[in-house]
Amino acid sequence: MNSEAPFRAAANRSPETFEFDYVVVGAGSAGCVLANRLSADGKNSVLLLEAGPTDSNLWIHVPLGYGKLFKDKTVNWMYQTEPEPGLDGRTVFQPRGKVLGGSSSINGLLYVRGQHEDYDRWRQHGNSGWGYDDVLPYFKKAEDQQRGADAFHGTGGPLPVSDLIHADPLSEAFIAAAAETGIPNNPDFNGASQEGAGFFQTTTRQGRRASSAVAYLRPAKTRKNLHVETSALAQRIVFDGRKALAVEYRQAGGLRTARARKEILISSGAYNSPQLLQLSGVGPAELLRKHGIDVVLDAPGVGHDLQDHMQVRVVMRCAKRITLNDIVNHPLRRILAGARYAAFRRGPLTIAAGTSGAFFKTNPRLATPDIQIHFLPFSTDKMGEKLHSFSGFTASVCQLRPESRGSLRIRSADPSAPPEIRINYLATEVDRTANVEGLKILRKILHAPALSSYVVEEVEPGAKVSTDEALLNYCRARGSTIYHPTSTCRMGNDPLAVVDQRLRVRGLEGLRVVDASIMPDLVSGNTNAPIIMIAEKASDMILEDR
Ligand SMILES: Cc1cc2nc3c(=O)[nH]c(=O)nc-3n(C[C@H](O)[C@H](O)[C@H](O)COP(=O)(O)OP(=O)(O)OC[C@H]3O[C@@H](n4cnc5c(N)ncnc54)[C@H](O)[C@@H]3O)c2cc1C
């Protein structure tokens, strides 16, 4: 399972040759795509730096294993927000992958692109080249769709997109119950329209996770011009005036410098990319001066506009012993599930962070859905913790286009210090209303006839929580993240935009940001597929610009 071993290690090379055409910082969803595409024709030398280790942890490759990685600090940055005013002052745990593959090695594996209108909105806000028609070819280029190619899907790309293997009656009943409440069946959330209820597809192949390290790095492992360094924490971009020259990184206790002949590409994710820029002197001048960092460029937009999808869960007690709780809590059933997976790559261990789901509008006047439901055939008090001892299942509400905006700011000039993360969940009336109305519609589905033979009672929030005010209080008390932070180095044309439409950092030379942080605003769905699309498109732009 070791993705790194076959790669050539840059650190073993002599100082004179410690120079590459491209240096990519962060081997996550985006960074692995860049490393593959930029090194493909053999003409460019590429160094990929990753702060975390190789992806040798076995749980990375088992879909249900994401629960084991949720709080594993060997592969996870395990950030926390500051106390959130909209969530009763609670801090919210923020897992982020710190390993080859980045968050795509620890995520919930769901393949959801968002709505066509998300990208058309990006284009309408001045980001030419990023409308749905512009980005669709890159989604297709990345994809190896199990169902075959059509107008919306591609085959033969590095990223396998597969149907669920494990048949689950509860998930089927959820889709039928949604239909009973007027939400039609939709067999493809990534096709002509997202609206409706159906099964998710996942980034897996034959029951194993396809992280971006598996999909993009492994096929490139024999290339002599691609060098991967793990346990290498980038601390600073070195500038000559406004030109980015090199990346200074810490590895095995030593400080090393890798020069980039052509460009430096920051792909460290929505938290670490703005952090690295700020540490390098690119960010709000007052913040940099406060921490004694020389200002290279006063860029107030770096770390601004942080957005995230919140989730609010409804937990149901199930009448039948068919949930994952029943399997995991029963020694024999647990062993059988493990053996089945080991032998055939089938069974409950192939389940991702949602089996079925739904996209609907909380207000008929909306043009497109504003809520996503993730349905899970198990339940727990908090994500990543022990499953309940009773038979239970979960469905969560996620508002797709939150208005609330937060910020990411360094806490100190120490590169190893976690940044200060403020999301400001539920800061606006639109966000509060969408969550409450979303919960009300979800409850209708969960109490529809198709699910009635499975439902004993609603455990959380519980029948006593019935008024809008009580539901909002529940959101504040129990709401948390669904792990989609974006937009901290936003693309755009306004004074707070950090990158232009070719993802070049405005006001600087030789430096781009390519990851979740460049999204002008959040897409209406999960973020891995869109980020892989962004990196596919960026790769073409980077090579064209040379
Ligand atoms: C628990 C969880 C569940 C999720 N579930 C889903 C899902 O089901 N479907 C979906 O579509 N999305 C999901 N997501 C979100 C999705 O995985 C992320 O949005 C996406 O992977 C982010 O890609 P990225 O390239 O922006 O950053 P990342 O993939 O996080 O990559 C950043 C990389 O940079 C490295 N790095 C950071 N700083 C430095 C530094 N200074 N030096 C060197 N390296 C550095 C990091 O270690 C990391 O490997 C989930 C995320 C999490 C955490």
Q: pLDDT tens digits, residue range 384-432?
A: 889 999 999 999 999 999 999 999 999 999 999 999 999 999 999 999 9
CA 313 to chain centre: 19
At residue 14 the predicted structure's pLDDT band, cuts being 50, 70 and 90, is: very low
Ligand 1, closest atom to CA 516?
Answer: 26
Is the pLDDT score of 2 beyond 50? no
Q: Is it the case that residue 1 has pLDDT exceeding 50?
A: no
pLDDT of residue 4: 37
Pocket test for ligand 1, best of 24, 70, 104 (most atoms within 8 A of CB): 104
pLDDT at 212: 98
pLDDT of residue 3: 39
Provide, rounded to the nearest whole percent, the portion of the chain with pLDDT above 90.
Answer: 95
For the chain, the maximum distance between any two Cα atoms, rounded to a whole number of angstroms, is 71
5 pLDDT more than 70:
no
- The alpha carbon of 206 and the centre of ligand 1 are apart by a number of angstroms equal to 23
- C-alpha pair distances (Å), 221 with each of 7, 35, 40, 382: 6, 10, 11, 38
- 161 alpha carbon to ligand 1 midpoint, in Å? 18
Q: Is residue 7 predicted with pLDDT exceeding 50?
A: no
% of the chain residues with pLDDT over 70: 97
* pLDDT tops 80 at residue 263: yes
pTM of the model: 0.97
Does the pLDDT value for residue 12 go beyond 80?
no
Ligand 1 pocket check for 27: Cβ under 6 Å: yes
Rounded distance from Cα 67 to ligand 1 centre (Å): 16
pLDDT score of 366: 97
CA-nearest residue, atom 31 of ligand 1: 28
> Which residue, judged by its Cα, is nearest atom 3 of ligand 1?
107
Write down the catalytic residue from 116, 374, 388, 484.
Answer: 484
Place of tokens 């924490």: 233
Q: What is the pLDDT of residues 75-130, one digit of tens each?
A: 999 999 999 999 999 999 999 999 999 999 999 999 999 999 999 999 999 999 99
Q: Is residue 16 predicted with pLDDT exceeding 80?
A: no
Average pLDDT over residues 186-201: 98
Contact predicate 379/387, CB 8 Å: yes
CA-to-CA dists, residue 156 to 140, 165, 221, 459, angstroms: 9, 21, 19, 45
**Interval 51-67 mean pLDDT:** 96
pLDDT average, residue stretch 512-522: 98
Q: Map residue 167 onto helix, strand or coil.
A: coil
Instruction: Indicate whether residue 28 lines ligand 1 (CB < 6 A).
Output: yes
How many other CB atoms are there within 10 angstroms of residue 264's CB atom?
Answer: 28
Mean pLDDT (the chain, rounded): 95
- pLDDT confidence of residue 17: 42
User: Is 125 among the catalytic positions?
Assistant: no
Ligand 1 in reach of 233 Cβ (< 6 A): yes
pLDDT at residue 305 greater than cutoff 80? yes
The token pair that represents 454 in the structure block: 């499975």
pLDDT value for 435: 98
C-alpha to C-alpha distances, 380 to 51, 73, 174, 479, nearest whole angstrom: 31, 21, 19, 14
Nearest CA, atom 35, ligand 1? 26
Where does the pLDDT of residue 306 fall: very low under 50, low under 70, confident under 90, or very high at 90 and above? very high
The pLDDT, as a whole number, for residue 468 is: 98
- The answer, yes or no, to whether any atom of ligand 1 lies below 6 A from the CB of 516, is yes
